[in-house]
A and B are shown apart, each in its own frame.
Chain A
Amino acid sequence: EAGVTQFPSHSVIEKGQTVTLRCDPISGHDNLYWYRRVMGKEIKFLLHFVKESKQDESGMPNNRFLAERTGGTYSTLKVQPAELEDSGVYFCASSRTNTEAFFGQGTRLTVV
């Protein structure tokens, strides 16, 4: 069974540009999550999809962040326009109902 995959693994963009991160969850997992780790601190929750619906987006920092999960399969997280403080590692995770979440390898975003 393939794990959670994320693209790209690294992205370096200039302040003000747009970046789109992609996550492919484990097949059959209805739950998909985005998390972020900034500067070696704790891993912080951003949002949670159940299939294509946003169940909880309480962790989204501001309206420069937009997450979508069309068709309930893969998900994208767009940052537009990117700011310096958006730098960090963005993790995607997926799970079945009432089970632990499996994480992808992360996308390291650097905004310069």
Chain B
Amino acid sequence: DQQVKQNSPSLSVQEGRISILNCDYTNSMFDYFLWYKKYPAEGPTFLISISSIKDKNEDGRFTVFLNKSAKHLSLHIVPSQPGDSAVYFCAASHSGTYKYIFGTGTRLKVLA
């Protein structure tokens, strides 16, 4: 049973517009969430994280929102750029463990 789900395998967005990537989780013990970006033939690169004591974290063009009651988080990229085209993975963990549970990823394509 998959504890972290990214239900959209792909997403296309026009350059300059907002990209919204979604992630749902089932384990209420998760208290730390991360987004990683992955280019082909490279390893995942850390993008942004959020602790369960917050509902929003912002870093430049990237903002992560956490809705604990809905067990849902989202990554907003504004404005989207062609260089943002990559696969985005959502990951979760809980206190006492360093193990990340990853979603299956969403392929984002930003069109110039």
Residues of A within 8 A of B (CB): 4, 31, 33, 35, 41-45, 48, 55-56, 58-59, 91, 93, 95, 100-106
Partner of B41 from the list A45, A91, A100, A105 (CB cut-off 8 Å) is A105
Interface size, B (range): 20 to 34
Residues of B within 8 A of A (CB): 2, 4, 34, 36, 41-46, 49, 89, 91, 97-105
A-B contact pairs, 16 of them (CB 8 A): A33-B98, A42-B89, A42-B103, A42-B105, A43-B89, A56-B97, A56-B99, A58-B99, A95-B98, A100-B34, A100-B49, A102-B46, A103-B36, A103-B43, A103-B45, A105-B43
Interface of A is mostly: strand
Partner of A42 from the list B2, B41, B46, B99 (CB cut-off 8 Å) is B2
- Tell me the nearest residue of chain A to B90, going by C-beta: A42
